[in-house]
Structure 1
Amino acid sequence: MLPRTLLSVLAPVSLLAALPALAAHTGVTRRNGYSWSDAAIFGVVVVALVLARRALRHRMRSPDRDGRD
């Protein structure tokens, strides 16, 4: 079973990943503002950056694997 924090991150990400499919192209283009796919991409990028920063902080906090500090 996945840890609770991982599930709380993956659930919104999976919903954001499905948004571009829901905003399929109908043949009529609008040029006034952002579309749902833009918001979904932005959300995925934000989550990826947060996870990458968290992993790097964790890596810097943990001691080296070969026993040196």
Structure 2
Amino acid sequence: MSLRAKRSNPKTLVIASLHFVTFAMTNVYLILHHYLAFHSALGTFNLAGMYRIEALHICGMNSGF
């Protein structure tokens, strides 16, 4: 019943979609920006290292630190 009520409210759906898209795009931008700036300065392109570093960045940012 509540799921149907939420689904029938387009305003809530639009706001939730915009929030999700904005949040996802911000994280993607930060990952690419940090990766390019940090690793191009070092000259290393290590994907495993990038994911470890960026996971810490994003977890810290999303939790308010």
TM interval, short-chain normalised: 0.3 to 0.5
What TM-score do you get using the length of structure 2 for normalisation?
Answer: 0.44
- Point out the structure with max Rg over C-alpha: 1
Higher relative contact order (CA 8 A, sep 6+): 1
Q: Between Structure 1 and Structure 2, which shows a larger proportion of helix residues?
A: 2
